[in-house]
Structure 1
Amino acid sequence: MNRFLVSIYEGSKIAISAIWTNKTRAVLTTTCIVIGIVSVTAMNTISDGIDRSFEESMDMLGRNVVYVAKWPWGFGGEYKWWEYRNRREMKISYVDDIRELAPSASSVSASASRRTSVKYGDRIADNVGLSGVTQSYFQTAGLDIEDGRAFSESEVNRAAKVIILGGSVVDVLFPNDEDPLGKNVRINGQRFTVIGLLERQGSFLGLEDTDNQIIVPITAYGTMYSLRYGIQLAVQFPNEESLEDGEFEVIGAMRQIRQLDPLEENDFAINKAALFEQEFQGMKVAIYGIGIFLTGLALFVGGIGVMNIMFVSVKERTKEIGIRKAVGAKPWEILLQFLMEAIVICLVGGVIGVILSIGVTELINQFFVAYLNWSTVLNAILICAFVGILFGYIPSRKAAKSDPIESLRYE
Structure 2
Amino acid sequence: MIYIRLVAESFRFAWQALRANMLRTFLSLLGVTIGIFAIISVFTLVDSLERNVRDSMSFIGEKVIYVQKWPWAFGGGGYPWWKYFQRPEPTIREFRQLERRLTMDDGIAIFSDRGSNTFKSGNNSFSDATLMGVSYQFNNVMEVPVERGRYFIPQEVDAGRNVIIIGSEVAETLFPRQEPIGQQIKVGGQRFSIIGVFEKQGESLFGGPPFDQMGMMPYMAYSKMFATGPNGVGSTIVVKGREDDPGLLELEYETRGIMRTIRGLRPRDEDSFAMNRPEMATQAISGFFEVVGLAGWVIGGFAILVGGFGIANIMFVSVKERTNIIGIQKSLGAKNYFILFQFLFESVFLSVLGGAAGILLVFLLTLIPQDMMAVGLSASNIILGLGVSAVIGMLSGIIPAVLASNLDPVIAIRSK
TM value normalised by structure 2: 0.79
- Aligned counterparts of 2:166 and 2:305: Cα–Cα separation in 1: 51
Q: 1:277-315 CA deviation, whole Å, 9 max, x = no partner?
A: 444554454344334434444433322221122223333
Which residue matches 2:163? 162
Instruction: Check 1:118–1:370 CA distance in 2 against 1; reply closer, same or farther (3 A cut).
Output: farther
Note if contact 2:170-2:213 (Cα within 8 Å) is conserved in structure 1.
Answer: no
Note if contact 1:202-1:209 (Cα within 8 Å) is conserved in structure 2.
Answer: no
Note if contact 1:343-1:389 (Cα within 8 Å) is conserved in structure 2.
Answer: yes
- Counterparts of residues 304-343 of structure 1 (less than 5 Å): 304-325=309-330, 327-343=332-348
Note if contact 1:63-1:240 (Cα within 8 Å) is conserved in structure 2.
Answer: no
Which residue matches 1:239? 243
Which residue matches 2:94? 94
- Counterparts of residues 2-17 of structure 1 (less than 5 Å): 2=2, 4-17=3-16
- Counterparts of residues 306-385 of structure 1 (less than 5 Å): 306-325=311-330, 327-361=332-366, 372-385=377-390
Instruction: Check 1:186–1:346 CA distance in 2 against 1; reply closer, same or farther (3 A cut).
Output: farther
Aligned pair count? 408
Note if contact 2:366-2:377 (Cα within 8 Å) is conserved in structure 1.
Answer: yes
Range that drifts further, 218-227 or 9-18: 218-227
Which residue matches 1:208? 207
- What is the DSSP-based 3-state SS (H/G/I as helix, E as strand, rest coil) of the residue aligned with 1:108? strand
- Aligned counterparts of 1:224 and 1:355: Cα–Cα separation in 2: 57
Note if contact 1:162-1:192 (Cα within 8 Å) is conserved in structure 2.
Answer: yes
Percent of aligned pairs with the same amino acid = 32
- Aligned counterparts of 1:35 and 1:174: Cα–Cα separation in 2: 52
Note if contact 1:36-1:298 (Cα within 8 Å) is conserved in structure 2.
Answer: yes
How many Å apart are 1:148 and its aligned residue? Answer: 0.9
- Counterparts of residues 115-130 of structure 1 (less than 5 Å): 115-116=115-116, 129-130=130-131
Q: 1:7-65 CA deviation, whole Å, 9 max, x = no partner?
A: 32112112112212322222223332222333343354456556756776776534442
Which residue matches 2:20? 21
Note if contact 2:171-2:197 (Cα within 8 Å) is conserved in structure 1.
Answer: no
Which residue matches 2:265? 260
How many Å apart are 1:268 and its aligned residue? Answer: 0.9
How many Å apart are 1:74 and its aligned residue? Answer: 0.8
- What is the DSSP-based 3-state SS (H/G/I as helix, E as strand, rest coil) of the residue aligned with 1:74? coil
- Aligned counterparts of 1:364 and 1:68: Cα–Cα separation in 2: 40
Range that drifts further, 389-398 or 147-156: 147-156
- What is the DSSP-based 3-state SS (H/G/I as helix, E as strand, rest coil) of the residue aligned with 2:92? coil
Note if contact 1:161-1:216 (Cα within 8 Å) is conserved in structure 2.
Answer: no
- The amino acid of 2:240's aligned partner reads Q
Instruction: Check 1:171–1:285 CA distance in 2 against 1; reply closer, same or farther (3 A cut).
Output: farther
Structure 2 stretches of 5 or more lacking a match?
Answer: none
How many Å apart are 1:172 and its aligned residue? Answer: 6.4
Which residue matches 2:72? 73
How many Å apart are 1:125 and its aligned residue? Answer: 7.3
Instruction: Check 1:153–1:8 CA distance in 2 against 1; reply closer, same or farther (3 A cut).
Output: closer
Mapped pair 1:301 → 2:306: yes
Range that drifts further, 83-92 or 392-401: 392-401
Note if contact 1:140-1:235 (Cα within 8 Å) is conserved in structure 2.
Answer: yes
- Aligned counterparts of 1:410 and 1:232: Cα–Cα separation in 2: 84
Which residue matches 1:133? 134
Note if contact 1:47-1:370 (Cα within 8 Å) is conserved in structure 2.
Answer: no
- Aligned counterparts of 2:32 and 2:106: Cα–Cα separation in 1: 55
- Aligned counterparts of 1:23 and 1:256: Cα–Cα separation in 2: 79
- Aligned counterparts of 1:301 and 1:384: Cα–Cα separation in 2: 13
TM value normalised by structure 1: 0.80
- The amino acid of 1:145's aligned partner reads V
Note if contact 2:110-2:235 (Cα within 8 Å) is conserved in structure 1.
Answer: yes
Mapped pair 1:151 → 2:155: no
Q: 1:214-236 CA deviation, whole Å, 9 max, x = no partner?
A: 24223444566553132111123
- Aligned counterparts of 1:133 and 1:186: Cα–Cα separation in 2: 19
- The amino acid of 1:110's aligned partner reads I
Instruction: Check 1:305–1:131 CA distance in 2 against 1; reply closer, same or farther (3 A cut).
Output: farther
Instruction: Check 1:357–1:209 CA distance in 2 against 1; reply closer, same or farther (3 A cut).
Output: farther
Range that drifts further, 352-361 or 72-81: 352-361
- Aligned counterparts of 1:387 and 1:13: Cα–Cα separation in 2: 21
- Aligned counterparts of 2:28 and 2:292: Cα–Cα separation in 1: 29
Note if contact 2:50-2:289 (Cα within 8 Å) is conserved in structure 1.
Answer: no
RMSD: 3.9
- Aligned counterparts of 1:176 and 1:304: Cα–Cα separation in 2: 64
Note if contact 2:171-2:180 (Cα within 8 Å) is conserved in structure 1.
Answer: no
- The amino acid of 1:276's aligned partner reads A
